[in-house]
Amino acid sequence: MKRKRLLAVLVGGVFCLAVMSLYRMLELMQGAELQQRGETPAGQVDKELSRLQQKIDRLEHLLSDNNRLVATLRDSLLHRKASWETTRGEGGANVSSDSTHGRAHTLPGCRLAEEMKDRADGVQLMDVYHLLPFDNPDGGAWKQGFEISYRGDEWDEQQLEVFLVPHSHNDPGWLKTFDSYYEDQTKHILNNMLLKLTEDSRMKMIWAEISYFSKWWNDCDDQKREMIRRLVGAGQLELVTGGWVMADEANSHYFALLDQLIEGHQWMQRHLGVKPSSGWAVDPFGHSPSMTYLLRGAGLHNMVIQRVHYAVKKHFARQQTLEFLWRQSWDSSPRSDITCHMMPFYSYDVPHTCGPNPAVCCQFDFHRLPGGRVFCPWRKPPQPITEQNVQERALLLLDQYRQKSRLFRSPVLLVPLGDDFRFVESSEWDAQFSNYQKLFDYFKHHPELHIQARFGTLSDYFSALHRRLGAAGTTLPTLRGDFFTYADRDDHYWSGYFTSRPFYKRLDRTLEATLRATEILFSLTLAEMRRFHGDGRLVADFPAREHFQRLTAGRRSLALFQHHDAVTGTARDPVVVDYGTRLFHSILNLRQVLQSSAHWLLLLDKSQYHHDQSKPFLQMDEVISAQDALPQKTPLTLSGEPRSLIIFNPTEQLRSSVISVIVDSPDAHVVDAETGRPMAAQISAVWAEPSRASADIFQLDFVAELPPLSLIVYHVTKASAGSAHRTQYTFHRHGNPPTVQAEHFQVSRPQGPEADARLSLSNKHIQIWSSQETGLLQRLRLQSGLVRQVQVQFLWYGTRAGANRDKSGAYLFLPGEDGAQLYSSSESPLVRVSRGPVFSDITSCFRHFTHRVRLYHLEGHAGRSLEISNMVDIRSEANRELVMRLVSDVASGNRFYTDLNSFQMQQRRTLSKLPLQANFYPMTSASFLQDSASRVSLLSAQSQAVASLSPGELEVVLDRRLQQDDNRGLGQGVTDNKPTASLYQLLLEDRRGGAQEVGAASEHLSLLAHLTSLSLCHPPITLVTPGNGQMPKLRPFLPLRSALPCDVHLLNLRTLEDAQETGSPSQEVGLLLHRKGFDCSSAPEPPLQCTWSAHEEVSLDDLFSPLRFRSVRPSALTLLPQDDEPEQQPPRITRLRPMEISAFRVELD
């Protein structure tokens, strides 16, 4: 050990000496040149200065390289020191990624997983599913429940306390667009709310969607705004959750879920000076603990949920556990607990909220009084409350309240009063308020009934609940798990929307990645500008304010699309187009910010910066022409003059990536512009048709080495004929050899024994074998010797047959009785195998999809996985869903794991007592199968449904085309399909030490899977310079000295709005870091190239060096100033716990 440490110190010393010598050498060279020439004429001064500047640039670049090496050495030394100290003190902690399994579990991320594996406190939802019979007997008045009884004296000691909470659920788009709903309904609801709440202080209301509220606020004059502030301050109006929308919790990525919360909370803070304390999620189709984590981290303490499987509701009601502390599956402490109230009945409308009997409750929805447009389907209409009927009506309502109360542990009762787009007309406000107030007054004047009822908000309810629970010494049970997959009745499982409109689910993630990259680059640009000037000023010509407004619009477009009828794919066709147009325009606007920021950062001479929106200096290498179009690469015209390509790495890791551009020549040469080093490259055909290559354009792929958050410049030139490595092609088609047109490429057809042999590709890390007939994957082999059968299949699901039977639609998946049918085609697919130095792949061209598996010939983690891509087009089909299934020999039993919102992994159990559609779950970005020896992970760039219907199988739904409505209110099928791309990485890993536990409830991705997913979801961004005119000198931008630890993810670096100047960027930035939990049973050989800390404490100053912080304030997740902790002083040691997101408001110096 001592010898190794000594060696590391020695090597570090040598590097320091080399740097100093280099500097001295340049100094002497410059001195010698000046001495030789004596006094240079004035005309030569510029040349000399220019030459000196180039040398300084070169020195700076070499110093930067050496800095990175020295940083790696320093980390290595620190690791060895920590390892040595820990070995002496506590017997073993290993920190570099070549860790042996025996000691790996002492790292924070591993410790966490080990701690949680044996914890069994509280209720596990998986265990509830295991217990329930899912038999659905008729429960009487409460059809999905049971008869509730009470004696009548239960409230003699503690009276029943009822809070009637008026609400109006406003979908930001569903049957109408966001703007149409606002004009037709929402603005009238809010105008009436302002009027009616001001008239009577007893009236109250809650409101959830800040997207609508902020739009209405913009229409209000100063007087109205002051009235709104008064109502909020008095507690009459409560803004609940505070998100931009009431977000979907199945398909949304946690970045977007948090971003829409930040947008809403920041708006509330700025305009109303308040923050929410309670969550309200009554319409999302199932619920995720990732959302509860974000709410708790944003400072909320209570929440209400509604759409939970009816059998689970019934079970919780019997156990009186409808109110519980919801805890994260991975958390052994109560730190993340949030008090959750689950509504017990079918819906959040009035018939299903006052008590178990909807026929009775409907009579107390006074919007349905006779003569109106809305009526009670149970044919017992409400009656206006009069002196003559008040006693009978009050006792009838009291009976429902009492029955509902028996399902809870406290005598405090929450009764929502509302539905979709309620309280549009002032007459509804009057009818509901006046009639209920008469009932409340009757209760008040009859103390023998032991009830107090009044209008209230969620804060009123939860304050009373906690007060009563505390007084009685009652504790709520703890629950872990999630509430997927939702069924509202019978076998109607809402697993269809996990995939519906997959084109837009993919576009959502494109915008998300573009937004995050732009946020980070814009924040770094403003910090660099202030440093450049030295006085905090920005560059005069840089449109910082306009760019910040583009960023804000992008944030809000992404936020709007997280609505539970948007990303879900459950809105009407014109509304989907409206959402798509917003996403599309935001991507274009954010690209302007990205181009402009990169332009300034790259210029060596900053005085040359000029902003011209009509002729940007940098342009994207790909174009999206419309909201429903796939991205297309723009061909680059090459010549002998170098064409500059700028690559932005939006991740916090050093990465080797393959960059792909389209060029007009089959011969091209790529070099690193700074060093002149040639890059490994490959020229491939651009296939106009499966066997006809374009004669005019070609694909150039090269390997780029990208430091974290860097902008690196490459030069592409036209090369001499035949000098570039060209891809070699082999074509297969069973029984019908294709005619191939590809004049610039070597094409062969298999002959003799080769014609019948399985296809095979390999790189340093993996070898794959595929079917010679279909090209579809069959087996994988790792460098370690591990071999696994992994067969790729494609299948169709149909829907139920019969005229009067429910069928699949946008929400529901109701497959036909015959289950999945293997995909078959009348003619054999064309199979195209390509081989080259950068990548090799196998492409299978079927009628409804083109499927490709690709291996990259790369060092590092990028070469360890198999890229799978599909281009799907099922527009010719009716009532069919296309599925890709992986069939492996992993002995996974009935268990598999899916991610929740890309934030955490959740164990799933495939249950035979449930119908097929109930065993499908949402997958935002990852799913895996494992046994004691191996793990197969499928990492995804888009969200969709996933299932494991048999041991060793994993299947994802690629697209669905359905001709009919599924009777959930949408009123149409899903027939607006488009050619849709889906992208995955398939990862096979050894599980060696500590892998005996195959079925723990809390599992994590491996570090390799985390890094692979990061690269998949945040690809490098390519910019190009114009191909003509004089080019200014560009210099790479390298903001970080070294990569962040491989378990720490830079979630965002978000410029905050100026507190004084609306719509302008401030000097403050929201820094969000997520420390990943990771599985330690698989460590790849050779080891990963990144490092991690053995401790939860890290120094922010060291992590982000050489960036400097002027101030750092730890904050809550939505970055509100009132949540700030005291400012941290250098070296700013902060605790990053595994799985936790940490937020800071910082000023970059």
Which runs of E-coded beta strand occur in 292-448?
A: 302-305, 323-327, 338-342, 412-420
Split at pLDDT 50, 70, 90, the class of 1030 is confident
List Cβ neighbours of 876 (8 Å cut-off, separation of 6 or more): 848
Say if residue 86's pLDDT is above 80. no
As a whole number of Å, the CA-based R_g of the chain is 31
| Among 960, 777, 958, 992, CA closest to 866 | 777
**β-pairing, 205-207 with 237-239?**
parallel
Residue type, 158: Q
Cα 598 to Cα 522, 542, 1035, distances in angstroms: 9, 12, 11
Q: What values do phi and psi take at 367, rounded to 5?
A: -75, -15
Tell me which of 28-37, 345-354, 508-517, 1098-1107 is least confident. Answer: 28-37
Find out whether 977 and 961 touch, Cβ atoms under 8 Å: yes
148-170 confidence digits (pLDDT tens): 999 999 999 999 999 999 999 99
Say if residue 90's pLDDT is above 80. no
CA distance 710 to 730: 38
pLDDT averaged over the chain? Answer: 91
The pTM assigned to this predicted structure is: 0.92
598-632 confidence digits (pLDDT tens): 999 999 999 999 998 889 999 999 999 999 999 99
Tokens 């944030």 identify what position?
555
pLDDT at residue 51 in the model: 54
Say if residue 994's pLDDT is above 60. no
Say if residue 217's pLDDT is above 50. yes
The catalytic residue positions are 283
Split at pLDDT 50, 70, 90, the class of 76 is very low
Find out whether 620 and 1023 touch, Cβ atoms under 8 Å: yes
pLDDT at residue 77 in the model: 44
pLDDT at residue 1104 in the model: 96
pLDDT at residue 1089 in the model: 79
663-706 confidence digits (pLDDT tens): 999 999 999 999 999 999 999 999 999 999 999 999 999 999 99
List Cβ neighbours of 867 (8 Å cut-off, separation of 6 or more): 841, 852, 853, 854, 855, 856, 983, 984, 985, 986
* Better-predicted residue by pLDDT, 99 or 175: 175
Residue type, 724: A
Cα 819 to Cα 734, 781, 795, 814, 916, distances in angstroms: 29, 32, 10, 10, 8
pLDDT at residue 52 in the model: 54
Say if residue 65's pLDDT is above 60. no
202-229 mean pLDDT: 98
Find out whether 244 and 556 touch, Cβ atoms under 8 Å: yes
Q: Which tokens in the block code for residue 106? A: 């002492």
DSSP helix/strand/coil, 376 = coil
Burial class (CB in 10 A: 0-12, 13-18, 19+), 537: exposed
* Better-predicted residue by pLDDT, 752 or 779: 779
* Better-predicted residue by pLDDT, 44 or 878: 878
226-242 mean pLDDT: 98
1051-1078 confidence digits (pLDDT tens): 999 999 999 999 999 999 999 999 999 9
Split at pLDDT 50, 70, 90, the class of 1028 is confident
List Cβ neighbours of 842 (8 Å cut-off, separation of 6 or more): 759, 761, 770, 775, 831, 832, 833, 834, 852, 853, 854
H-helix or E-strand spanning residue 358? helix 358-361
Split at pLDDT 50, 70, 90, the class of 970 is very high
Find out whether 494 and 316 touch, Cβ atoms under 8 Å: no
pLDDT at residue 67 in the model: 45
Find out whether 836 and 727 touch, Cβ atoms under 8 Å: yes
pLDDT at residue 48 in the model: 55
Split at pLDDT 50, 70, 90, the class of 120 is low
Say if residue 43's pLDDT is above 60. no
Count of beta carbons in the 10 Å neighbourhood of residue 1125: 12
CA distance 906 to 290: 11
Which residue(s) pair with 412 in the sheet?
A: 161
CA-based torsion, 11, 17, 20, 22: positive or negative? negative
179-191 confidence digits (pLDDT tens): 999 999 999 999 9
Say if residue 3's pLDDT is above 60. no
* Better-predicted residue by pLDDT, 92 or 1137: 1137
List Cβ neighbours of 395 (8 Å cut-off, separation of 6 or more): none
Say if residue 93's pLDDT is above 70. no
395-413 confidence digits (pLDDT tens): 999 999 999 999 999 999 9
Split at pLDDT 50, 70, 90, the class of 1002 is confident
Count of beta carbons in the 10 Å neighbourhood of residue 792: 20
Find out whether 865 and 896 touch, Cβ atoms under 8 Å: no
Q: What is the 3-state secondary structure (H, E, C) of 991-1007?
A: CCCCCCCCCCCCCCCEH
Split at pLDDT 50, 70, 90, the class of 102 is very low
Split at pLDDT 50, 70, 90, the class of 535 is confident
CA distance 781 to 778: 11
Say if residue 472's pLDDT is above 50. yes
| Among 1127, 962, 855, 1003, CA closest to 109 | 1003
960-966 mean pLDDT: 98
Say if residue 975's pLDDT is above 50. yes
Cα 366 to Cα 351, 392, 436, 652, distances in angstroms: 11, 16, 9, 57
DSSP helix/strand/coil, 13 = helix
pLDDT at residue 126 in the model: 94
pLDDT at residue 1092 in the model: 74
Sheet with 926-930, strands from edge to edge, namely 747-748, 728-732, 830-835, 839-845, 849-856, 866-872, 980-990, 934-940, 926-930, 895-900, 904-909
CA distance 837 to 1066: 47
Count of beta carbons in the 10 Å neighbourhood of residue 795: 17
